[in-house]
Amino acid sequence: MYRSQKDYYALLGVLRDASMEEIKRAYYEAAQRLHPDKNKLAGETEIFLEIQQAYEVLSNPKRRSQYDATLSKEDAPPAIIQQKVLYSRPNLVRLNEPQLIYVLLEASPRQVDEKIPAPPLNICLVLDRSTSMQGEKIDMVKAAAIQIMQSLRAEDIFSLVVFSDRAEVLIPSAYQSDRIKLAARIQMIRPGGSTEIYQGLEAGFNEVRRSLDPKRVNHVLLLTDGHTYGDEQACIQLAEEAGRLNIGISGFGIGSDWNDIFLDALAGRTGSNSTYISKPQDIQRLLVDKFNALANTFAEDVILEFKEGAAVELNYAFRLQPEGGPIAIEELLHLGPIMQDTPLNVLFEFLVQPSASKADMVTLLDGALKLVITARPIPIPPIRLKLEREVGETPQNDPPPPAILNALSRFTLYRMQERAHEEAEAKNFDTATRHLKNLASLLLTQGEKDLAKTALLEAENMERLKAFSQEGGKEIKYGTRALLLSATENLQ
């Protein structure tokens, strides 16, 4: 049981020490979603009334303290997810120079008596049909779209948008029963025109929003093979809006001509990621895998609201699984989804300045994890996350936890290719070449022979042509990313 009596804090989704400001904000957010004028589902009005009651108590300081007195410390509701935190070092050291510390966070569903059912979907496929998709690519995309449509369950909502320089809603968002007719419609897709991602993305976003339902996995799958020009900023803004509404966007790039950095940034705004499809034969498998993963979602996007400690910087955040990818460091971190069978693993790198290490205890980060359990719209209380370490005079030489060591050894590979990209961007071609050569030999020692070869070839390209080849750059990026997934297998 996760809520025996009415917990007003849980209803509003705030911590017990929440400020008046936070309580107000939480109430307005809930009201926007659940107000009787707006809600759609049976039971939501009742939830809204409870939330209103909670707000009336908690917004009044006197009534709040009376209510608080009835709460004992122990009956804080058991969290519906469990989290585990590992640090790379048992303590920080008092130093006159900056130091690093790594933290690995794992969040997984708590085993509860009640089985949470697989959530129904509300998804939209947004497919690029520009001229460059001609031939095998468009054929494979059609086959994938038809396979996905065939495997929809009766309770799933599906829509399909095709776009080039303009978008067309081929299948409007709805429960789909006449699948033969839809398959025929998909078969009719003909390539032509240029690529303007915003057109397609907006149409897809609108389709998903039309059927938006917190009990569903609401998701846009964007598939493209090209660059978009001039509308990147508009796309990112749309993705931010999607992130706020808990609509996921994942990107699929076919071949070598698409913009991986852009697609990663786009998907990252919603806690999702981009996937590299090197050859058309892989389109169907990768799209269908993603579709199956969506139906296995436990919480679609875990959000970390946080403050860094004084003189501490969060340098880097990276999701190891599910779906490895960088996490954009913004006011809120979209950490990514928790799957029913796969926990969320995030690796953080903190830079601690000397002034912080003067104290005996350093707070690295203080915040709360917020999430919505798909298939259950009742808000759950945020989960406090406070990362802190003691400061000692001397380092303790305990070996780091194997899980963090293992993850970091693979993460180092990804970071090296990223540095090579950064150096190439800054026109330091010699440094970029050196990074690639080092990466190649490191990959060799880890037995990744093919990827090592690619890295060596790219080192040559960098030396001679002062650039990555489009293909090789992506091979290495997504190849080292895939290695991270294999690193997390034995984390449990």
DSSP letters for 32-83: HHH-TTT--STTHHHHHHHHHHHHHHHTSHHHHHHHHHH--GGGSPPPSEEE
Name the phi and psi angles at 14, rounded to 5: -130, 160
Q: Identify which of 291, 333, 359 has the alpha carbon closest to the alpha carbon of residue 93.
A: 359
* Number of residues binding to another protein, judged by CB under 8 A: 37
Q: How many residues does the chain have?
A: 492
The nearer residue to another protein, 100 or 465, going by C-beta atoms, is 100
The residues with which 197 forms a beta bridge, in sequence order, are: none
Q: Does 437 bind another protein (CB under 8 A)?
A: yes
Q: What amino acid occupies position 180?
A: I
Between CA 221 and CA 141 the distance in angstroms is 12
Q: Does 445 bind another protein (CB under 8 A)?
A: yes
Q: Which of the ranges 17-25, 62-70, 84-92, 159-167 carries the binding residues for another protein, by CB under 8 A?
A: 84-92
Name the phi and psi angles at 16, rounded to 5: -65, -25
Q: Does 102 bind another protein (CB under 8 A)?
A: yes
236 CB-side CA count, 13 A: 11
Q: Does 491 bind another protein (CB under 8 A)?
A: no
Q: Using the rule CB under 8 A, which residue among 446, 466, 467, 486 binds another protein?
A: 446
Least distance between another protein and beta carbon 319 (Å): 19
Least distance between another protein and beta carbon 341 (Å): 22
Least distance between another protein and beta carbon 400 (Å): 7
Q: Does 397 bind another protein (CB under 8 A)?
A: yes
Q: Identify which of 252, 336, 261 has the alpha carbon closest to the alpha carbon of residue 289.
A: 252
Q: Using the rule CB under 8 A, which residue among 405, 457, 482, 485 binds another protein?
A: 405
Pairing of strands 92-93, 157-163: unpaired
Q: Does 489 bind another protein (CB under 8 A)?
A: no
Least distance between another protein and beta carbon 345 (Å): 17
Q: Does 88 bind another protein (CB under 8 A)?
A: yes
Q: Does 457 bind another protein (CB under 8 A)?
A: no
Q: Identify which of 89, 119, 116, 112 has the alpha carbon closest to the alpha carbon of residue 101.
A: 89
Kindly calculate the radius of gyration of the chain based on its CA atoms and give it in whole angstroms: 24
Q: Which of the ranges 25-33, 91-99, 190-198, 247-255 carries the binding residues for another protein, by CB under 8 A?
A: 91-99
Q: Are 194 and 158 in contact (CB under 8 A)?
A: no
Structure tokens at 434: 């050196």
Q: Are 104 and 346 in contact (CB under 8 A)?
A: yes
Q: Which of the ranges 161-169, 283-291, 406-414, 460-468 carries the binding residues for another protein, by CB under 8 A?
A: 406-414
Q: Does 409 bind another protein (CB under 8 A)?
A: yes
Q: Using the rule CB under 8 A, which residue among 31, 116, 391, 408 binds another protein?
A: 408
Between CA 450 and CA 42 the distance in angstroms is 55
The nearer residue to another protein, 266 or 459, going by C-beta atoms, is 459
Q: Which of the ranges 283-291, 328-336, 359-367, 405-413 carries the binding residues for another protein, by CB under 8 A?
A: 405-413
Q: Does 230 bind another protein (CB under 8 A)?
A: no
Between CA 252 and CA 263 the distance in angstroms is 8
The nearer residue to another protein, 99 or 278, going by C-beta atoms, is 99
Q: Does 486 bind another protein (CB under 8 A)?
A: no
Q: Does 61 bind another protein (CB under 8 A)?
A: no
The residues with which 160 forms a beta bridge, in sequence order, are: 125, 171
Q: Does 332 bind another protein (CB under 8 A)?
A: no
Q: Are 128 and 163 in contact (CB under 8 A)?
A: yes
**Residues near 63 by beta carbon (within 8 Å), at least 6 away in sequence:** 56, 57
Q: Does 480 bind another protein (CB under 8 A)?
A: no
Q: Using the rule CB under 8 A, which residue among 346, 416, 424, 487 binds another protein?
A: 416
Q: Using the rule CB under 8 A, which residue among 57, 71, 183, 442 binds another protein?
A: 442
Q: Does 355 bind another protein (CB under 8 A)?
A: no
Chain residues that interact with another protein, rule: CB under 8 A: 88-89, 92-93, 95, 97-102, 351-352, 397, 399-400, 402, 405-406, 408-409, 412-413, 415-416, 419, 435, 437-439, 441-442, 444-447, 449
